Amino acid sequence: MRRILVPALAAGVLLAAGLLAVQAYRLHEYRQRLDRGDLALQDGDPARAVEALSGALAIRPDSIVAHDLRAEAYRAQRRPDEAVADLRRSLGLAPDALTPLVELGQIADDQGDFVQAADWYSRAAAKATPSDPRVLYALALARYRAGAPESAVEPLQRAIAGADVAGQARYLLGLIYRDLGRRSDAIAVLEDAVRKAPSLAPAREELADLYRAAGRFDGEMSQLRALAALDPRPERRIDVALCAARNGLDADALATLAGAGLDPEDRRMLIARGRLDLIRAERKPNRAAARLAVAEFAEARALAADGSLLAWLGRAQFLAGDHDAAERTLHEAVTASPLDIDAGNWLADAAEWRSHFADARAALETVDALEGDGAPRAERAARARRLGALSLQAKDPAAAARYLQDAIDGGRDDAPTIGLLVRADLDTGRADAARQAVDRALAKDPQNAALLKLAASIH
C-alpha cells in the first residue's frame, strides 16, 4: 500500500507545481502585455495599445486597469462606443471607482451630450471624498453647456472653496452670473478670478465687457491695458484706442493707435481708423467723420470683406446720409460671416428710414432670435415695442398686437405703447381688447392725461 501512495503523492506534487508554473507564466504574460499597452499609449500609438491590452484582458478579463487603459486607447482612436463598453465593464467590476465615471463624462462631453455628461460627473462628484474640484468644475461646465446655468452655481462654489488655482471656476461662475443677469455678482467673481490668476485673459476680456456695459470706463480701460501688457498683438492696443474714443478721449485714442506698430495701409489699421471716425460720428452728428469712416472702410473692403466690416461700412454710410447705399451694404452684412449682431439693428434703422417697414421688422426679428433670452429684459421689451410699431406701419396689426403685448408684459406699459396696442386691437376688430388694455393701464395710473384721453376716444 505504501508503495502505491508514494508515487501518487509525487504525481500530485508535480501537478500542483505545474499549475503554479502555468499561473506564474500567465501572470507574467498579463503584466508584460499591460505594460506594453501602457507604453504604447504614452508613445501615442493607440492601435498597438489596443492590441496589447486586448491580450492582457484575454488572460485577465476582470482587470479593471486593462479595461480603463483600453478605453483610453479607444478614445484616442475615436472609437467612443468601444471605450464606453470598456468603462462600463470597469464600473461593473468596481462600482465605487471614480475614474470610469469621469471618463464616461468626458466621452459624453466629446459627443456634445452635455446632459449625459453632467449625469456621469454628478455621480463621480458624489463618490469623491473629499470633493475633487476638477470633477466639480467638469460637472458645472456640463450643466452650463446643457442649458442649466442655475444648477452649475453650487458645484462651482464648492470647487472654488476647494481649489481654483487657475481661476477657471471663478471665470465660469462669472459667465453664469452674467447670463443670469446678476451683473454685480459677475463683476465681483471675475475681479476675484483675475486677482487669483492675473494672466487669465478670457476673464479680463469678460470683465472689460461688463465694466463697459455698466459705464465704468476706468475699470474697462484698466482691463484692456492689462490685456495689452499680456499680449503684444496690435489688436490689443486697438481695443485700448477704441475704449478711449468711446469716452471722448480722441487724442489719446489716436496716440494709442499710432503706437500699435501697424503700417498705415495695413487692413487692421484702416479698419481701426474707420472705427475711431465712426465712434466720433455716433457720438454727435458729424457727417465729415462719417465720410472719413466710409472711405477707410471702403479701402479695407477692397483688401478683404467680412460681416463686421460690412456692418461698420453700412452704419457709416447711413450716418453720412447715403441711406440707399447703407441699406444695400447692411443687407449684405446680415448674410455674411461672421454675423455682427449690430448689423441687424443698423439695417432696421436704414430700412425704416426708407419706409421699408417689413424689411426693418425682419432685421429686428433676426436680432431677437439670435439674442434670445440672453438680452436684458428691458432691452427685449424695447425691441418688442419697436417691432410692434413697425408691424403697424407694415399693415400687420395682428403681429403688432402680439409684439406690443410682449412689450407691455416686459415693463413697457407707458401710455404711448398702450396707445399703439389699442390701435392694433382696433385695426383687428378687437374693440373689447382695446378697452381692457386702457382700463388696465388706468388702474395703475388713474391720473394719466394721455390714457384718459385715449379711454374717452374708445369708450
Q: Over the stretch 281-326, which tens digit does the pLDDT of each residue have? A: 999 889 999 999 999 999 999 999 899 999 999 999 999 999 999 9
Other beta carbons within 10 Å of 39: 13
Instruction: List phi, psi (to 5°) of 264.
Output: -55, -25
Of the candidates 304, 306, 310, the residue with the CA atom closest to the CA atom of residue 266: 304
From residue 285, alpha-carbon distances to 257, 274, 277, 325 in Å are 23, 16, 12, 19
Residue with cell 421688422: 361
Confidence of residue 124 (pLDDT cuts 50, 70, 90): very high
CB 308, CB 330: distance < 8 Å:
no
Between CA 327 and CA 347 the distance in angstroms is 6
CATH annotation of 29-97:
1.25.40.10
The CATH class that applies to domain 376-459 reads: mainly alpha
Between CA 270 and CA 23 the distance in angstroms is 76
Helix (H) or strand (E) holding 263: none
Rounded to the nearest angstrom, the gap between the alpha carbon of residue 296 and the centroid of all alpha carbons in its chain is 32
Of the candidates 37, 54, 47, the residue with the CA atom closest to the CA atom of residue 76: 47
Query: Rounded to two decimals, what is the model's pTM?
Result: 0.80
Q: Over the stretch 393-434, which tens digit does the pLDDT of each residue have? A: 999 999 999 999 999 999 988 888 888 888 888 888 888 887
DSSP 8-state assignment for residue 337: S
pLDDT of residue 456: 79
Of the candidates 150, 139, 154, the residue with the CA atom closest to the CA atom of residue 176: 150
DSSP 8-state assignment for residue 372: G
- pLDDT reading at 131 higher than 90: no
Q: Which ranges constitute the DSSP H helices of 197-335?
A: 201-213, 217-230, 234-246, 250-258, 267-283, 287-303, 307-319, 323-333
pLDDT of residue 5: 54
Q: Over the stretch 217-243, which tens digit does the pLDDT of each residue have? A: 999 999 999 999 999 999 999 999 999
> Domain ranges in the chain?
29-97, 376-459
How buried is residue 373: exposed, middle or buried, by Cβ count under 10 Å (0-12/13-18/19+)?
Answer: exposed
